[in-house]
Homo-oligomer: A and B are copies of this chain.
Amino acid sequence: MRKLPAKLASQLYGAAELIAERGLDGTKIEDIAEATGIPKATIYYHLDGKNAVLEFLLSDLLDMIAGAVGVAVSSSEDARTRLEAAVLAQLGVMLEHPFLCRALVGDLGRATRLPELAGALRTAFYEPIEQLLAEGVSDGSLRQVADPGAVALSVFGAITVVGLSAAVEGPSVDPSTAAVRFSAAVSDLVLDGLATPGSRDQRRGEPL
């Protein structure tokens, strides 16, 4: 898979909506050719088939997410603040690209079975969070939990599902406003939890 020329790359995005709508299987190569204006023969000249089309689109999305989150995470604030920033960054990118997100949900299975993508998925979504939780414990802005791995996974799940679900609901008029709204909800949950002060009865000994 040689790196394909910028022009073709940009045309390929025209296929995202199609794939999002019908899934990769429901989308014929001919359809992609028609939607993008790139003839079938040319597609096959550059890419190794349908999967490669999806792989190209999704790895791009994952790069964007990883990039945005990376920036958010590397400020000099405390970990708690950076976590909020990371949540916002991830949701921002996701809402900015609803079709890619829908394609991702739709062919998640195939995506996880494509080795490159599986790794990129981890890098984009999961690792920054895991990292941040650890740093939060060090700098005292986040509390220690019993099972950091599982908790990081939960946080990752909370963010991602909100983002995907928003994408599936359909493109929003104003993605960045929506991102702010959703990220507030997620951060609220993840930082402060749902228990009322009165019902916080079984903490593991740290003072209230």
Question: CB within 8 Å of B: which residues of A?
Answer: 22-23, 25-26, 78, 80, 83, 105-110, 112-113, 133, 136, 140-143, 145-147, 150-151, 153-162, 165, 168, 181-182, 184-186, 188-200, 203, 206-208
Bound-complex Cα distance A156 to B157 (A): 8
B106 touches A151 (CB 8 A): no
21 contacts between A and B (CB under 8 A): A22-B113, A80-B199, A106-B108, A140-B196, A142-B196, A145-B188, A145-B189, A146-B188, A147-B182, A147-B184, A151-B186, A151-B189, A156-B161, A157-B161, A157-B162, A158-B158, A191-B195, A191-B200, A192-B203, A193-B193, A193-B194
A162 touches B150 (CB 8 A): yes
Query: Apart from A142-B194, A154-B186, A191-B200, what 10 extra A-B contacts exist at CB < 8 Å?
Result: A80-B195, A106-B110, A107-B109, A141-B199, A145-B188, A147-B181, A150-B162, A154-B161, A157-B162, A191-B193
Query: Which residues of chain B come closer than 8 Å to A105, judged between CB atoms?
Result: 108-109, 112
B162 touches A112 (CB 8 A): no
Total copies of the chain: 2
Query: Which residues of chain B come closer than 8 Å to A191, judged between CB atoms?
Result: 193-195, 200
B207 touches A143 (CB 8 A): no
Query: Which residues of chain B come closer than 8 Å to A23, judged between CB atoms?
Result: 109-110, 113
Q: Taking chain A's interface residues, is the majority helix, strand, or loop, or is none over half, making it mixed? A: helix
Closest to A107 in B: B109
Closest to A108 in B: B108
B194 touches A190 (CB 8 A): yes
A161 touches B161 (CB 8 A): yes
